[in-house]
């Protein structure tokens, strides 16, 4: 069923300190919010998001700002689809960035192989990089409110990173005679 109900947060935060504006922006982006324009963010109407937005709106007002939290119903299916596509595009951009980091990870392991740099220090460093990828993908997926197509490729890319790391780990152990 097509989403037709949306939460719209329109807000104004005092210009100083700037940390307050950044805090609000990060919260909204962390929930998967889509900015229609500066200080106008839309999210699908969902109970858990409604509660979080209500708390954030109250924080904005308590901090000396202004906040209006509106529920908007868009009857035009084409307009709803365009909005959903924008959410999916936003998520796909994050998945693309993730895929780029996965490629960087493979390049780093290949560089270490070419240099025969099979040390425990390199193993630890690359294990930490893999852990970052493993923790990042679920965060992106949580913000992906409309199942963007990039998720499938991102899962596969992470699996390949894990496999590549396992192979590199074995090469380190072999080089250290373990």
Give per-residue pLDDT as tens, 100-140.
999 999 999 999 999 999 999 999 999 999 999 999 999 99
Q: Phi-psi bin for 156: left (phi > 0), alpha (psi -120 to 50), beta?
A: alpha
How much is the pLDDT for 86?
98
> Does 43 reside within a domain?
yes
Judged against a pLDDT cut of 90, whether residue 173 lies above it is answered with: yes
CATH assignment at residue 59: 3.30.70.240
Residues 16 and 91 in one domain: no
pTM equals 0.90
> Does 31 reside within a domain?
yes
Number of independent structural domains in the chain: 2
Residue 115's CB is within 10 A of a number of other CB atoms, namely: 9
Residues 15 and 71 in one domain: yes
Range of the domain at 133: 87-175
> Does 148 reside within a domain?
yes
User: Is residue 112 within 8 Å of residue 11, measured between CB atoms?
Assistant: no
SS3 content of the chain, % helix, strand, coil (to 5): 65, 15, 20
pLDDT in tens, 78-96: 999 999 999 999 999 999 9
């Amino acid at each position: 069923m097509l989403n037709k109900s949306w939460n719209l947060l329109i807000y104004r935060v005092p210009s100083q300190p700037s940390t307050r504006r950044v805090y609000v922006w990060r919260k909204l982006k962390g929930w998967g919010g889509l900015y229609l324009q500066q200080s106008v963010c839309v999210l699908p109407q969902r109970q858990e998001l409604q509660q979080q937005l209500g708390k954030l709106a109250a924080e904005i007002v308590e901090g000396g700002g202004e906040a209006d939290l509106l529920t908007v119903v868009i009857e035009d299916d084409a307009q709803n689809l365009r909005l959903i596509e924008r959410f999916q595009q936003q998520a796909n951009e994050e998945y693309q960035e993730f895929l780029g980091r996965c490629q960087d990870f493979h390049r780093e392991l290949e560089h270490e192989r070419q240099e025969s740099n099979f040390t425990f220090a390199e193993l630890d460093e690359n294990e930490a990089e893999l852990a970052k990828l493993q923790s990042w993908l679920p965060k992106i997926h949580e913000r992906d409110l409309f199942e963007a197509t990039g998720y499938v490729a991102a899962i596969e890319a992470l699996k390949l990173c894990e496999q590549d790391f396992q192979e590199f780990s074995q090469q380190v152990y072999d080089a250290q005679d373990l």
